Amino acid sequence: MIQHPLFATEPWCLRETSLDLDVLAQSESVFALSNGHIGWRGNLDEGEPHGLSGSYLNGIHELRPFPYAEAGYGYPEQDQVMINVTDGKVIRLLVDDEPFDLRYGELHSHERCLDLRAGLLDRRVEWSSPSGGRVRVHSQRVVSLVQRSVAAICYDVEAVEHQVRVVVQSELVANEPAQLPSNDPRAAFAINDPLRGEFHDNQGLRCELLHSTGLSEQLIAAAMDHEIEGPPSMKVHSESFDDLGRVTVTVTLKPGEHLRLIKYVTYGWSAQRSTEALRDQVDGALVAARDTGWDGLCSQQLEYLSDFWDRADVEIEGDDEIQQAVRFSLFHVLAAAARSERRAIPAKGLTGNGYDGHAFWDSETFVLMVLSYTMPEAVANALRWRHDTLPAATARAQSLGFRGATFPWRTISGTECSAYWPAGTAAFHVNADVADAVVRYLHATGDHEFEATVGLELLTATARLWYSLGHFDLEGGFRIDGVTGPDEYSAVADNNVYTNLMAQRNLLAASDVAERNDERARELGVDPAEISGWRRAAQAMVVPFDHTLGVHSQSEGFTDHQIWDFAATTQEDYPLLLHFAYFDLYRKQVVKQADLVLAMFLRSDAFTSEQKRVNFEYYEGLTVRDSSLSACCQSVIAAEVGHLALAYDYLAEAALMDLEDLEHNTRDGLHMASLAGTWIGLVAGLGGMRECGATLKFAPRLPEGITRLSFNVEFRGRRLHVEATPSTTSYVLKQGDDLEILHFATTVTVSAGQASVFPVSSDDTLKTGLTPPRQPYGREPTRRLADPARREENL
């Protein structure tokens, strides 16, 4: 979609140079602004036309009972659906009594720019009404990364050529019409009129609305205030109703005269506090916002993002689209998490209501991986949210007959929201994914206080789940049967390699952390016998291997299944989940998304280099990438085993997932995990970064076409700058004490301000001249390199 000629490729912004209503919904997602607490889609200021109107508060949802035809013991009873809250973005404009609607009159110019350094959405329009009244409109929008409850708009109208009578209506709007229902399970369930009016008020330039939800019993307050500049003749009026607050400005503008309106919007919500407390909260936030002022909010935003880019920026030479894409990705990953503060990070962030606003294991495995090395404080907050949901996870485990905690596969508040148990309840790997994020955060930060509290409790609860869920067989192996791994086209399988290896890491980490914090561990009831049991289970973990094929079997017996008939599957049949019964998918060798390949990335220590290469090439022929989570994992392992051109292809697919609307559902919001996968594909893939306990290892390998890759990582209070070219790699410590790292197999001590430069290693584990592996018919990635030799290689 963004390959559309109206979109430009620039290093620090996403710019739309004209307006195409056919891609309006997609553009609303890519131009969305969020801070992890508030989310505003990139809707046009005037509210119409729109693809999907969206204003979201993290955690606000409504409940709906699951309509089971045949319910069963342990089935989740109700779903949680993210809802559209009070919309504070709307500013309607009338020119000589005619509404500013781009579908009418004449649109002379229209440009929008998402500035990734300033954190602003900028829009410039010149339009003539059907009767000839011509105006220029310049608006800027911010969702504050500093003042968590605040969003603001600066809206300027200028008369052009002739005098015009202008009416500006700044609104708070609740219960906007829901989107039409969809048969796509990735789309949201539509709930009409989810908000009930509880209070409304207007005074001068200020309006306030307060609503409640029905079943989830949450209160939402929204308030707006204004600063207005214009000719002395302007008049202002305000009014409010249950679902509408409006401040109206009327004025006659001569050519060159301006009406400038600054709109401050604040939000608050709670399931526990009173209406009076919420009103006080939004009123106080409004006072703080007005005291800061528009210029102050913009300055705060710029300062916040300057610090983030100093920590996180990635530079690429040789591919301008990927350069733009990685900064676009990092911006939205930050926006999804920065101020979420003990709330979930949804799969679509707060850019749309796809997947009903649910958070999955994507957050811990992909999004938190990026943030662990760029903004670790956001990781601590995200894991504290998981810790806050431990009571629900413990109750869920007990209902299923297990000890410890069973974290939900999809959720908003912490309870399971998947009615399809083979994919949801059976996906126990989410528990190990949470534990993995804890371990990664601890290695990246050395946060001992977090380890002794939140970390220990999460690791203990998840380790107890594995020890309870698995069992020792007659040969002494520890088996975990009847589970669903990351690959959702294989369900209720025995000894899924990914699940078992990640559970193994979980058990060992819980043992180590409990022993380091023995007093606190005893308070949790952990004794030496329990730790001994965890270690014994980890050491005896069953990891299936097919000796006939010489590959790891994704799960026990998987490689005995019939291979899916890819040749008979047309492009229109993808994604397979929309066209074939799960029963048929489950009994064939076909992989939705990287599963074993992801295991080779996250548990790199559990495989030899040759096993990685052979496994990767085998599973390439089975993986159809019907999930946006797959390409970045395949990119990482392709780079590690020597298929650099293919790694580049998959990197581009992850990076452009939303910018090219590859999954055809960007309209419902951005894919946060794939956005994170852009950084992962560059830093862990081409940069070869791996975590080796308290040490980082780098093994940079650049494909043809990329001449330089540089990035920063935060690790143990240091800020390390890595710069790789096809021939050399340099390491510079920008901040902190000396740091010991690995360059391939060489131990290196990096000091502040001193570049350590090394030639690219002739690592003998990397084979050259490999035959490119085949993908399923019709599922080859788009080739990134256009040279004739590369084209011939991929025929």
Give the integer Cα–Cα distance in Å for 243 and 341.
29
**Helices (runs of H) and strands (runs of E) counted in the chain:** 20, 33
Residues 6+ apart with CB under 8 A from 590: 489, 563, 564, 566, 576, 622, 624, 776
Picking from 560, 655, 639, 543, the residue whose alpha carbon sits closest to that of residue 599 is 543
- Phi-psi map region of 414: left, alpha, beta (phi>0 left; psi -120 to 50 alpha): left
Strand extents, DSSP E, 60-163: 61-65, 78-82, 91-95, 98-99, 106-115, 120-128, 134-143, 150-160
Q: DSSP assignment, residue 27?
A: H
**76: its two tokens:** 């989740």
Spatial distance between the Cα atoms of 331 and 157, rounded to a whole number of angstroms: 29
For residue 669, how far is the Cα from the chain centroid?
A: 10
- For the record, the structure tokens of 16 come out as 């739309």
CB 288 within 8 A of CB 180: no
Distance of CA 168 to the CA centre of its chain: 36
List 16, 158, 451, 488, catalytic entry? 488
**Residue 751, helix vs strand vs coil:** coil
Closest CA to 403 of 534, 562, 302: 534
Chain centroid, CA 527 distance in Å: 38
Contacts of 571 (CB under 8 A, 6+ apart): 778
Q: Containing H/E element for 638?
A: helix 630-641
Q: Output the six-digit token pair for 99.
A: 């509404």
Give me the helices (H) in 495-544, please: 497-516, 518-523, 528-539
> Does residue 25 sit in helix, strand or coil?
helix
The helix (run of H) or strand (run of E) holding residue 196 is strand 195-203
Q: Are 314 and 710 in contact (CB under 8 A)?
A: yes
Does residue 158 come out as left (phi exceeding 0), alpha (psi in the -120 to 50 range) or beta? beta
Residue with tokens 């302007």: 234
Three-state DSSP class for residue 292: helix
* C-alpha radius of gyration, the chain, whole number: 27
Say which DSSP state 681 is in. I
Residue 488 annotated among the catalytic residues of the structure: yes
Amino acid identity at 740: E
Quick one: angle between helices 376-388 and 429-445, nearest 10?
A: 140
- Looking at residue 321, its amino acid is E
The whole-angstrom separation of Cα 164 and Cα 134 is: 8
| C-alpha closest to that of 49 among 23, 30, 88 | 23
Nearest to 303 by CA among 142, 88, 138, 123: 142
Question: ω before 99 within 30° of 0 (cis)?
Answer: no
DSSP character string of 426-446: T-THHHHHHHHHHHHHHHHH-
Q: DSSP labels for 230-284?
A: --TT-EEEEEEETTEEEEEEEEEE-TT-EEEEEEEEEEEEESSS-HHHHHHHHHH
Longest dimension (CA), the chain: 90
The residues assigned a catalytic role are: 488
